[in-house]
Amino acid sequence: MKHSRLLLPYTVWMTVFTLIPLGVVVFYAFTDSLTGAFTLANLSHLETYLPIFLRSIFLSLASSVICLLVGYPVAYTIAQTKPSRQRLLSMLLMLPMCMSFLLRTLAWVAMLEDTGILNRFISALGLKPLPLIRSNGAVILGMVYNYLPYMITPLYTVLMKIDRRLVEAAQDLGCNSRQVFTRVILPLSVPGIVSGVTMVFVPAVSTFYISQKLGSPGTTMIGDVIESQFKTAYNPNLGAALSLVMMVMIFLCIGFMNRFSDQQEEVMTP
Amino acid sequence: MGKELIRLTNLTMEFDGETVLDGINLYINDHEFLTLLGPSGCGKTTTLRIIGGFLTPTAGEVRFDGQIINDLPPYRRKINTVFQRYALFPHLDVYDNIAFGLRIAKLDEVEIDRRVQEMLDIVSLRGFESRKVTQLSGGQQQRVAIARALVNRPKVLLLDEPLGALDLRLRKDMQNELKRIQQALGITFIYVTHDQEEALSMSDTIVVMDKGRIQQIGRPEDIYNEPKNAFVADFIGESNILDGVMLEDYKVEFFGRKFQCLDKGFSPREPVDVVIRPEDIDFVPPAEAHLTGTVTAITFKGMQYDIIVDFKGFKWLIQTTDHQPIGKRVGIRLNPEDIHVMKKSEYSGLFGDYSSYSAEYDEIGEEDGDEA
Ligand SMILES: Nc1ncnc2c1ncn2[C@@H]1O[C@H](COP(=O)(O)OP(=O)(O)OP(=O)(O)O)[C@@H](O)[C@H]1O
Ligand SMILES: [Mg+2]
């Protein structure tokens, strides 16, 4: 009895903010935009958008991998410093997060524009301006910049929890510093890598503002298409159908990642 | 016992200006079982970590086979460690934990398997090869830690309170087991404990430490029978420690009486500490006694009674198999071999007084009783 009463707030929250919106999305996805009758037509448009889906996955996977490559050394370095320093460093890391996502992206626009800060600098050096903006690279850069903290935080948490004595045990058994890393630290940080990649990939694959600002029509991502169905194309039913597909995709993705880290999970609590 | 293997010379360790080890001088022979014994915080682990290569001493020398190894990293030392709380690799199973060092050394898998199997037998863990180390009991984890270190056949094994987390029964079994392994494989053991019984029963040599300094080095019998100062006398077993004056060789005065003893080499009328072990004292009828006193407390301890006797306001602990009722007047005799004379030290007057006996000694038992 006590138990179910404690569950009440959670149940209400889930109903109002998850189940009902989900129901609405499913309803729209399976109804016709004009008549409101049941239809599968919205979902049959999917293959038109397949290239965009694939591009979204590619761009966000690339961002995740870059975030991992950049974030791991950063997280590792922070985890190695003195505890007092650690708090300062992880706060600095979170600092850009206090600024609006839109502002952060616009800041990059100002940097990369054809007449932006970087290109003016390049011109001042007497060189030809570079086409920095409106490319896959610019979109990936925007995503890496925006989502990097989501990678570093779980990595840092896991790395910080690794027992110093395990490192000493490895050295004791003959490991040089490279072997300590590959044999002990890297395997023990797999759960952090998995949750970091998930936390970057999921918001990246569904993001809709970055590619509009930093990309070109050739870099449109699925999030942008969904947004436009609601805001400019006035076809919420198609938008809902695309959202539904994306949601299923993300769920499969999370499920896959979790299975991967479950094997490691029990191992993390010695 | 073999030749000298490790030598520590004037070893000093400071952390943030605080001296934790203060001029440690010690040598360790090949095949020796040497124990560092001392209270918590006295610097045992620090000494071990310096030998293992995890700390560089602030001053002094560590020599291995005559070579100075102060700055040699741990992975290049022929030394392995059983850590204070095992530090097993949680991402590997029992087999892979034990095989870890051999894989780093790039032995071929056939040889690795042979040696791991052999080790599993020695520590009686056959059948546990593919268990997660997190699914093992404390005793099993401890045996994996020992196997993981021993399988590399180190010259020296460092063990930092390896039995600390085990219950009494398992502790005793593992003490015998470790001693057996040490003798069978002929490896030098440097063993850390703060359990004096463990130290006495396992070691060839005991090093008693306190406050970062070595108080005494010796064979277990010597440490027990001839403690150098009041700290050692009190830390190794129970002791009654009295103020006395050495009159001449073989003659000491305390409690206003002169006694024969076996000690010599003090200056005339030198103030000394006199140690009398509780189990060395025998009751005699008051008429034949050197000293008479009154029984003030008695506690049954299984093998013996702990009896507190008040001699002129100074309380002694006496351990005997005879029951003596509280309030009875009893007499004791002290034979020369029961009396051990020590030089005065910074520890004089701090130990060996049982005046507050019942309060400190039985508190655990009594608290249990109150709660029931
Ligand atoms: N890395 C360190 N930094 C600062 N002080 C330290 C450090 N390591 C140990 N100390 C201090 O050095 C002293 C000795 O510590 P050590 O771990 O050697 O004691 P120990 O004899 O092993 O005690 P225990 O029986 O409790 O394990 C303690 O006062 C401890 O606080
Ligand atoms: Mg210790």
The reported pLDDT for the residue numbered A263 is: 57
Q: How many Cα atoms within 13 Å fall on the side-chain side of residue B229?
A: 15
| Residue B371 predicted with pLDDT over 80 | no
CB atoms near residue B94 (< 10 Å): 26
Closest CA to B235 of B37, B42, B36: B37
CA B224 → CA A92, A141, A214, distances in Å?
59, 72, 81
Q: Domain with B164 in it: what CATH number?
A: 3.40.50.300
B364 occurs within a structural domain: no
Distance, CA of A30 to CA of B293 (rounded, Å): 101
Q: Would you call B105 and A174 a contact, using CB atoms and an 8 Å cutoff?
A: yes
Which atom of ligand 1 lies nearest, measured to the CA of B212?
14
Q: Would you call B83 and A187 a contact, using CB atoms and an 8 Å cutoff?
A: no
Of B223, B248, B265, which residue is a domain's last? B223
Model pLDDT for residues B275-322, shown as the tens digit of each residue? 999 999 989 988 888 889 999 999 998 889 999 999 888 889 999 998
| Residue B366 predicted with pLDDT over 70 | no
Of B191, B223, B255, which residue is a domain's last? B223
CA distance A167 to chain B (A): 9
**Going by C-beta distance under 8 Å and a sequence separation of 6 or more, which residues neighbour residue B189?**
B32, B33, B34, B156, B157, B159, B178, B182
Closest C-alpha residue for ligand 1 atom 18: B43
Contact B196, B169 (CB under 8 A): no
The reply to whether B124 and B270 lie within a common domain is no
Closest CA to B310 of B333, B334, B286, B327: B327
Which atom of ligand 1 lies nearest, measured to the CA of B44?
21
The reply to whether B120 and B151 lie within a common domain is yes
Closest C-alpha residue for ligand 1 atom 31: B41
The reported pLDDT for the residue numbered A262 is: 62
B370 occurs within a structural domain: no
Model pLDDT for residues B229-243, shown as the tens digit of each residue? 999 999 998 899 999
CA B152 → CA A11, A33, B146, B245, distances in Å?
57, 73, 11, 55
The reported pLDDT for the residue numbered B198 is: 93
Closest C-alpha residue for ligand 1 atom 7: B15
Contact B275, B247 (CB under 8 A): no
B189, β-bridge pairs: B33, B157
Q: Would you call B75 and A165 a contact, using CB atoms and an 8 Å cutoff?
A: no
Residues above pLDDT 90, as percent of chain B:
74
B264 occurs within a structural domain: yes
B362 occurs within a structural domain: no
| Residue B36 predicted with pLDDT over 90 | yes
A262 and B CB contact within 8 Å = no
Which atom of ligand 1 lies nearest, measured to the CA of B209?
21
Closest C-alpha residue for ligand 1 atom 17: B45
A184 and B CB contact within 8 Å = yes
Which atom of ligand 1 lies nearest, measured to the CA of B49?
18
| Residue B365 predicted with pLDDT over 60 | no
The reply to whether B81 and B135 lie within a common domain is yes
Contact B149, B99 (CB under 8 A): no
How many pairs of residues across A and B have Cβ atoms under 8 Å apart?
71
Q: Would you call B132 and A266 a contact, using CB atoms and an 8 Å cutoff?
A: yes
Closest CA to A249 of A60, A42, A28, A41: A60
Substitution candidate for ligand 1 out of B12, B13, B18, B20 with most atoms within 8 A of CB: B20
The reported pLDDT for the residue numbered A2 is: 59
Domain count, chain B: 2
Q: How many Cα atoms within 13 Å fall on the side-chain side of residue B214?
A: 19
Greatest extent of chain A over all pairs of C-alpha atoms, in Å: 76
Q: Compare CB distances from A270 to B73, B81, B134 and report the shortest one's residue.
A: B134
CA A201 → CA A63, A104, A247, A260, B238, distances in Å?
8, 19, 13, 16, 67
The dihedrals phi and psi of B175, each to the nearest 5 degrees, come to -60, -50
The reply to whether B155 and B252 lie within a common domain is no
Using the mean position of ligand 1's atoms as its centre, give its distance from the Cα of residue B40 in Å.
Answer: 8
Distance, CA of A25 to CA of A12 (rounded, Å): 19
Mean pLDDT, chain B, integer: 90
B54 and A CB contact within 8 Å = yes
Q: In terms of residue numbers, what domain contains B175?
A: 4-223
The reply to whether B153 and B276 lie within a common domain is no
The reply to whether B176 and B204 lie within a common domain is yes
B80 occurs within a structural domain: yes
The reply to whether B22 and B122 lie within a common domain is yes
Q: Domain with B317 in it: what CATH number?
A: 2.40.50.140
What does A14-39 look like in DSSP terms, one character per residue? HIIIIIHHHHHHHHHHTB-TTT--B-
Q: Would you call A173 and B52 a contact, using CB atoms and an 8 Å cutoff?
A: no
Q: What residue in B sits closest to A266 (Cα-Cα)? A: B134
The reported pLDDT for the residue numbered B356 is: 67
For the record, the structure tokens of A26 come out as 């499913």
List the domains of chain A with CATH numbers: 46-268 (1.10.3720.10)
Closest CA to B54 of A77, A85, A160, A180: A180
Interface test with B, best of A162, A166, A167, A173 (most B CBs within 10 A): A173
The reply to whether B148 and B286 lie within a common domain is no
Interface test with B, best of A171, A172, A266 (most B CBs within 10 A): A172
Return the amino acid letter for A242.
L
Chain B residues with beta carbon closer than 8 angstroms to that of A183:
100, 104
What angle is formed at CA A227 by the lines to CA A206 and CA A20, rounded to 5 degrees?
A: 80
Which atom of ligand 1 lies nearest, measured to the CA of B55?
1
Distance, CA of A7 to CA of B335 (rounded, Å): 77
The reply to whether B137 and B36 lie within a common domain is yes
Model confidence band, residue B364 (pLDDT cutoffs 50, 70, 90): very low
The dihedrals phi and psi of A237, each to the nearest 5 degrees, come to -65, -40
Q: What residue in A sits closest to B136 (Cα-Cα)? A: A270
The reply to whether B187 and B263 lie within a common domain is no
Closest CA to B342 of B294, B277, B279: B277
B75 and A CB contact within 8 Å = yes
Q: What residue in A sits closest to B101 (Cα-Cα)? A: A173
Chain A residues with beta carbon closer than 8 angstroms to that of B96:
none
Q: What residue in A sits closest to B105 (Cα-Cα)? A: A174
The segments of chain A whose pLDDT lies below 70 read 1-3, 261-270
The reply to whether B149 and B264 lie within a common domain is no
Chain B residues with beta carbon closer than 8 angstroms to that of A170:
89, 100
CA B105 → CA A50, A173, B130, B259, distances in Å?
51, 9, 22, 64
Task: Tell me the mean pLDDT in the region B26-55.
Answer: 95
The reply to whether B263 and B203 lie within a common domain is no
What does B197-208 look like in DSSP terms, one character per residue? HHHHHH-SEEEE
